[in-house]
Amino acid sequence: MTFTRDEILYGALTLEQPLPGPRVNVDTILLSAWVRPPFPPSKGGVLEMGCASGAVLLLLALRFPNVPRLTGMDIQKALVEMAGRNALENGLSDRVSFFEGDVRTVDTTLPPRSYSTVVMNPPYEEPGRGRLRASREEQTARQGFFCAPDDVARAARHLLPFRGRLYLIFKAARVAELLTALRSQELEPKRIRFVHPLPGRPSSVVLVEASAGGKPGMVVEPPLYIEDGHGSYTEELMKAYTKEGLPCHS
């Protein structure tokens, strides 16, 4: 696998990243900044499903130094190995680890209620829609051949205890499909935030927090704009690049 070595978050992390393949972008930063404590140690640690090169978990490890266990899972062995090297390179391998696994089969391969928090950036596109990605890595990460919203919901419900939390970023145009899948598995959406490229433009992605077995009631947070309409990133987006992450409005 061809890769590049890149610094992200102003040099806070150095990462190997596949080329071509899933790489750090604004969505990566937003997802890591959307996650919030607490992470009850009695209910297991944090799991990222579809971890790619490990960027989200490594960012979470920096933001939350008191979380003792963060684990990443990916269906692609080469990415799991790359993520492990990235944890070692950044001095985080004592807290962050990775293994090969399939979202569709976690109910038979992982114990139930084994993680307090699950994080994921699922593939945005439906198989057969849009142009076929050039590499298998990109097809797996972006085009949903191995993971649909229903698969995500079933896996998360198996892994989370009562009131365990799921954090996602997903394509805004498919948010109805995602929320339907979550509620079918008793994963109650509690916070949602639409992300827009510019004021006056439709939302491109959406951030979702859901609670396993939670009561109905969802906070729709103010929209987040990537750019301000004058060629600059917004102040709130830049907060996602800090240790504090995105402010919670609920």
Check: CB of residue 199 under 8 Å from CB of residue 229.
yes
Higher per-residue confidence, 199 vs 44: 199
Check: CB of residue 155 under 8 Å from CB of residue 49.
yes
In terms of DSSP H, where are the helices of the chain?
Answer: 26-34, 55-63, 77-89, 106-109, 136-142, 149-159, 175-184, 235-239
Check: CB of residue 179 under 8 Å from CB of residue 150.
no
pLDDT band at 136 (very low <50, low <70, confident <90, very high): low
pLDDT, position 137:
53
Residue 28 predicted with pLDDT over 50:
yes
Q: For residue range 115-127, what is the model confidence (pLDDT) as tens digits? A: 999 999 999 887 6
Check: CB of residue 172 under 8 Å from CB of residue 128.
no
Q: For residue range 167-221, what is the model confidence (pLDDT) as tens digits? A: 999 999 999 999 999 999 999 999 999 999 999 999 999 999 999 999 999 999 9
In terms of DSSP H, where are the helices of 67-218?
Answer: 77-89, 106-109, 136-142, 149-159, 175-184
What global pTM score does this model have?
0.92
Q: Which two tokens stand for residue 230?
A: 């004058």
Which domains does the chain carry?
3-239 (3.40.50.150)
Q: Rg of the chain's alpha carbons, rounded to an integer?
A: 17
